[in-house]
Amino acid sequence: MHLSRRGVLLGVGAAGGLLLAWTLTPRRFSAPLPAGEGEVAFDSWLKIGSDGVVTVAVPEAEMGHGITTLIPQIVAMELGADWRQVAVEPAPVSGVYGNAVLAARWSRLWLPLVPGLAGSPDAFLAKRFAEEEAFNVMADGTSLAAFEYPARVAAASARAMLARAAAAKWGVAWEECESEGGFILHGKNKLSFAQLVEDAAGYAPPDPPVLRVQPPLEQAAEFPPGAPLRFPRLDLPAKVDGSYTFAADVRLPDMVFAAIRHAPQGKAKLAGYDTNLAQGVKGLLKLVNGPDWLAAVGTTWWAAERALALIAPRFAVGERADSAAIGKALDHALRYGDAVRMTERGDPDAWMGSKYEHVAGYSIAPALHATLETASATARFSDGKLELWLASQSPQAARRAAAVAAGLSIDQVLLYPVPGGGSFDARLENDHAGEVALIAKQLGKPVQLTWSRWQEHVAARPRSPARAILGARTAADGSLTALKLRIAMPATTAEFGKRLFDGDSVRDALAAQNQADPLFFAGLVPPYGIEHLLVEHCPAQIALPTGRMRGNGGALGCFLIETFIDELAAKAGREPLSYRIAMLGQDVKLANVLQRAATLAEWGGGAVGSSQGVACFRMDTAGREGRIAVIASARRDERGIRVDKLTAVADLGRIINADIARQQIEGGLVFGMGLANGCTTTYANGLPQIGRLGMLGLPLLGDCPEIEVDFIESEADPFDPGELGVAAVVPAIANALYAAGGTRIRNLPLTGAGL
């Protein structure tokens, strides 16, 4: 029997001694950031060279979200470095960088029997799990919450060591020294980091570390669009000139290229293929088959792809994903399924009874991630070790998938993190790591596997489809008194957790769909002060594997709640913005965000004919809150849905980099426009019916509206803005379309495609 770390954890009741022994075992890590010639490593986060260059380790892959600027900026501000001399280096997979914040947030997935023991980022079990499992996972906007403080501590310690070295030369107290622009200063005395780094290595940092009084902070008002930046993105120049190396850009000596065909979605396996069909393909080197896929390797990727097109491998498929069957399963679960109460407030049973004063039914289609770069990975197997180059949000899971596929131990797999062209949570999955590992081992030479767009869609774990009914009771003046949300969908987070933490196959993980999903449903709690509230999950079993997508439960919850609130306001004959503010007495910050957005957008009341719609939302991650309000101007014309303007105001707490915060909000708004207009597909016989990026209804450059983003100044803990814009923009557009034409839309996407 294979005894995994999670297996030990699950034995809490029967083997508490094992758990206790594990938790009390001291952890020591080898230095994850080796110093090169002329460099001194300070902690695991930074090193300083004799040339004064400060190199900062970043434990997450850059997916366009700016993490390879944010963490170096935190270090630079705390250290007092010159931004022109700051470099970035991908951190290796190591427990030193374990994301305890996310481990605590996902404790239900890896410690299901007693998740409360690890439910706080400060919980010992959460920290130990993150360290032991090298849990360097990027998700749920936890990067700043997890890494800002340790990066600041490392920088403050290095600053103190440099100051001590300088103070010894000047005969002064090191506490009197300052650090700025890459120099240690004391009165008229001035020494550069380059001059001090060798001596500084001989000093011990103070314990506890002496952090600056002012944490990293930029006032957004100082950096309007187009203004000179104090900390421009480090990855931008290489992206502009084309030298930035994404996963598919990796090149190794003697490297060959692989294409792949995946089985349809469902219980499937590779049934057979005729190699004679590809005999005439020049450059074809080898065919490699997995349990439910076939890969071709060639001297060029096109040769491999052409060979597979001619071979057309056959797959034996049992129960297949089919949109009609999925819809029936969801409808049945919604009408007759056993509901699990996820959130309950007041006395909803007494108030709701068997009748609602207003009811709305919703249909949500599965959505594809539409990443710019499809899955790509490069592998080299030699001397009993496997080297991997790929972009992953869960690198340790990628190493484990590769090790299992190649029959190796995880210690025999070395992963080099590379940037990815967007992810939107698609790269939490690591199927391509296992595939390329098996191919490389059989081939005996470096190989790069790249999925075609069609295969990206075939193997995708889309956003879960859902059906929902919302019901409400109101007071005499139309105020919302009681609200019930009943949603039928698979337990998508539980299913994902089985794949990530237990290593279950896609087929085996489907069994987890038929259970409650409190992690996903945490995003379906309205921000309003509703006296009686009930949120129910009706788990549904479907043949389509599902996964996580940017926005997750918050995006679905915001769409359902904010469009329904608009309906209630219209039914009561009340202006939709003031109707919302009247329910926000317990959240003055969100009311302030709404009012600021209304002022900027010149809100006209949202009456029919105005083409303006509003939506707002609040998200909570690790005790940090983010708020947003979006006002959209939208209409329909002969080309479909047209968005003319988006105005967004966000309260993100303390903003570290105003330009990146604005980029994330703007990017989220445009991504949400794609979800509003498409990003979806139907399924037939286990295959998606859309195979090209251009068929997903994504917004083109000419479709992007005028976007205005503003921020509320705050010194609260920083909140990651990547999910907020995605959540609020879709209902704002839906409400704007109602204001333009008087028709309610209760489908997602708003076009009804993919349902």
Q: Please compute the mean of the pLDDT values over residues 514-526 and round it to a whole number.
A: 97
For tokens 């230095």, what's the residue? 31
- Tell me: the pLDDT tens digits for 42-85? 999 999 999 999 999 999 999 999 999 999 999 999 999 999 99
| Residue 738: closest CA among 670, 653, 636 | 636
Q: Name the DSSP class of 652.
A: -
pLDDT given for residue 44 in this prediction: 95
Residue 470 burial (C-beta neighbours within 10 Å; 0-12, 13-18, 19+): buried
Question: Quick one: angle between helices 724-741 and 552-572, nearest 10?
Answer: 30
- SS3 string, 374-401, reads CCEEEEEEECCEEEEEECCCCHHHHHHH
Q: Residue 672, Cα to own-chain centre: how many angstroms?
A: 14
Q: pLDDT at residue 446 above 90?
A: yes
- Tell me: the pLDDT tens digits for 363-400? 999 999 999 999 999 999 999 999 999 999 999 999 99
pLDDT given for residue 183 in this prediction: 98
Q: pLDDT at residue 742 above 80?
A: yes
- Residue 641's H or E segment, with its range, is strand 640-651
pLDDT given for residue 26 in this prediction: 52
Q: Based on DSSP, count helices (H) and strands (E) in the chain, helices before strands.
A: 23, 28
Higher pLDDT, 226 or 536: 536
- Tell me: the pLDDT tens digits for 395-408? 999 999 999 999 99
Q: Please compute the mean of the pLDDT values over residues 722-746 and round it to a whole number.
A: 96
Average pLDDT, the chain: 94
CA atoms of 512 and 499, how far apart (whole Å): 10
pLDDT given for residue 217 in this prediction: 96
pTM of this prediction? 0.95
Domain 247-318+369-458 sits in CATH 3.20.20.60: no
Q: pLDDT at residue 20 above 50?
A: no
- Tell me: the pLDDT tens digits for 643-665? 999 999 999 999 999 999 999 99
- Tell me: the pLDDT tens digits for 550-581? 999 999 999 999 999 999 999 999 999 999 99
Domain ranges of the chain: 32-98+134-216, 247-318+369-458, 323-367+462-748
Domain 323-367+462-748 sits in CATH 3.30.230.70: no
pLDDT bucket at 28, cuts 50 / 70 / 90: low
Angle at 621 between CA 618 and CA 623, to 5 degrees: 95
DSSP string covering 438-458, please? HHHHHH-S-EEEE--HHHHHH
Q: Is 323-367+462-748 in the same CATH topology as 247-318+369-458? A: yes
- Tell me: the pLDDT tens digits for 81-92? 999 999 999 999
- Tell me: the pLDDT tens digits for 186-229? 999 999 999 999 999 999 999 999 999 999 999 999 999 889 99
Q: pLDDT at residue 737 above 90?
A: yes
Q: Out of 3.30.420.10, 1.10.3720.10, 3.30.365.10, 3.40.640.10, select the CATH number for domain 32-98+134-216.
A: 3.30.365.10
